[in-house]
């Protein structure tokens, strides 16, 4: 799915692709790992939808339909595989999610309409996550335990032990999932999570995920740390950990499943490092140009599915066309909706309290109040 006016290089890795006629498989494999063909196609479709959403978002930022874009093209495999395995719901019996701004695929896989994403990107008053106040990708869904995403790097790692503590006391299989990039592991919040989830006799069911795309904005991770694997940060704390190829849906699906199962069963933390790509740079502030030197998980998985007979090129085209239409239609709908007003700046900030009588101007009503 080439991006806007950015054409791929003349030589994109050899001969043109072609369908290989073979019987449809029961499973799709990567080395010793496998998932069912049915699941593989579900993941693939969600990856295509996520890529269509991201590319349309970049186009919005370049056309003036949006002010700023940031997202996760190149992280679709990880995001979709995580979103499809979350125990979605409200309260400690379900999973809590502390995400960051590259997790659109998680939300789409969980069932978020594309329209809600574009409402936030276009800063519409109808944005269900922040009423047009926040950057794109800063989700907040109380019904799904999606804790409001913040732009403050890695702070979600110091928040995660709080929800996990409630879950530990509540009982059941609910876990807390916290996601951040590799650059944020230099923050003290990351270390706080490692520490607070491993206190003897008070371990907490937190799945810590580091999506390592090798760059913190413009800084190569290799220039700031000598560690070969950031997952090794778990060793001094006795935390079980794994570093895997986050670009391979078969591999990352199974890795997430193992990590989640461990946290649910043992009520202890797990650190998972997923090696991913960054296909459009950090954000629109850096131009969001396509980097054709990075591995593309969507293209690679597409070819794997074609080669094993799970889908053919005609089927791929149908999925991509459907996703593009869905994204385009969602943008058209979002752009017709109202923007926040000046008065909205003071709304949705405070709940009723006894001090309202003393400071009546500081409270302007609950959400939905006139």
Domains of the chain are: 27-339 (3.40.50.970)
pLDDT in tens, 262-303: 999 999 999 999 999 999 988 998 888 888 999 999 999 999
Query: 212: which strand partners?
Result: 275
Please give the Cα distance from 370 to 363 (Å, whole number).
Answer: 13
Please give the Cα distance from 147 to 300 (Å, whole number).
Answer: 32
Closest by CA position to 30, among listed 317, 312, 297: 297
Local structure of 271: helix, strand or coil: strand
pLDDT in tens, 2-49: 444 454 443 343 334 555 556 778 999 999 999 999 999 999 999 999
Mean pLDDT of 151-162: 95
What are the φ and ψ backbone dihedral angles of 138, each rounded to 5 degrees? -95, 75
Q: Residue 370 pLDDT more than 60?
A: no
Q: Confirm if 296 and 303 have CB atoms less than 8 A apart.
A: no
Tokens 């594309």: give the residue: 114
Mean pLDDT of 66-71: 90
- Give the total residue count for the chain: 370
* pLDDT at position 339: 94
* pLDDT at position 24: 79
pLDDT tier for residue 90 given thresholds of 50, 70 and 90? very high
Mean pLDDT of 190-210: 97
Mean pLDDT of 335-352: 82
pLDDT in tens, 219-272: 888 888 888 899 999 999 999 999 999 999 999 999 999 999 999 999 999 999
* pLDDT at position 9: 43
* pLDDT at position 7: 45
pLDDT in tens, 101-130: 999 999 999 999 999 999 999 999 999 999
Tokens 């909706």: give the residue: 337
* pLDDT at position 213: 92
* pLDDT at position 220: 83
Average confidence score pLDDT of the chain: 90
* pLDDT at position 347: 77
Mean pLDDT of 168-196: 95
Please give the Cα distance from 4 to 214 (Å, whole number).
Answer: 25
């Amino acid at each position: 799915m080439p991006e806007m006016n950015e054409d791929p290089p003349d030589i994109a890795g050899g001969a043109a692709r072609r369908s290989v006629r073979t019987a449809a498989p029961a499973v799709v494999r990567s080395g010793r790992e496998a998932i069912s063909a049915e699941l593989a196609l579900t993941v693939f479709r969600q990856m295509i939808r996520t890529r269509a959403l991201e590319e349309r978002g970049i186009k919005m930022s370049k056309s003036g339909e949006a002010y700023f874009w940031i997202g996760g093209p190149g992280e679709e495999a990880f995001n979709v595989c995580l979103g499809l395995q979350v125990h979605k719901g409200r309260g400690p019996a379900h999973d809590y999610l502390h995400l960051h701004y590259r997790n659109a695929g998680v939300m789409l896989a969980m069932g978020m309409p594309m329209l809600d994403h574009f409402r936030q990107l276009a800063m519409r008053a109808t944005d269900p996550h922040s009423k047009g106040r926040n950057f794109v990708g800063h989700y907040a869904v109380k019904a799904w335990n999606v804790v409001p995403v913040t732009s403050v790097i890695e702070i979600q790692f110091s928040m995660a032990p709080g929800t996990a503590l409630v879950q530990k006391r509540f009982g059941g299989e609910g876990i807390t999932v916290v996601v951040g990039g590799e650059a944020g592991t230099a923050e003290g919040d990351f270390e706080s999570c490692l520490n607070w989830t491993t206190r003897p006799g008070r371990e907490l069911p937190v799945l810590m995920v580091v999506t390592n795309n090798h760059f913190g904005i413009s800084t190569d991770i290799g220039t700031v740390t000598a560690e070969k694997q950031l997952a090794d940060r778990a060793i001094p704390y006795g935390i079980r950990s794994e570093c895997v190829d986050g670009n391979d849906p078969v591999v990352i699906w199974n890795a997430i499943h193992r990590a989640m199962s461990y946290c649910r069963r043992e009520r202890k933390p797990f650190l998972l490092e997923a090696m991913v790509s960054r296909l459009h740079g950090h954000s629109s502030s850096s131009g969001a140009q396509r980097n054709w030197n990075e591995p593309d998980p969507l293209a690679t998985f597409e070819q794997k599915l074609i080669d094993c007979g799970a889908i053919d090129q005609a089927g791929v085209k149908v999925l991509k066309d459907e996703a593009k239409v869905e994204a385009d239609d969602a943008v058209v709908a979002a752009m017709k909706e109202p923007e926040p007003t000046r008065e909205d700046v003071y709304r949705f900030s405070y709940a009723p309290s006894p001090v309202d009588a003393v400071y009546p101007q500081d409270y302007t009503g609950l959400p939905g109040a006139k």
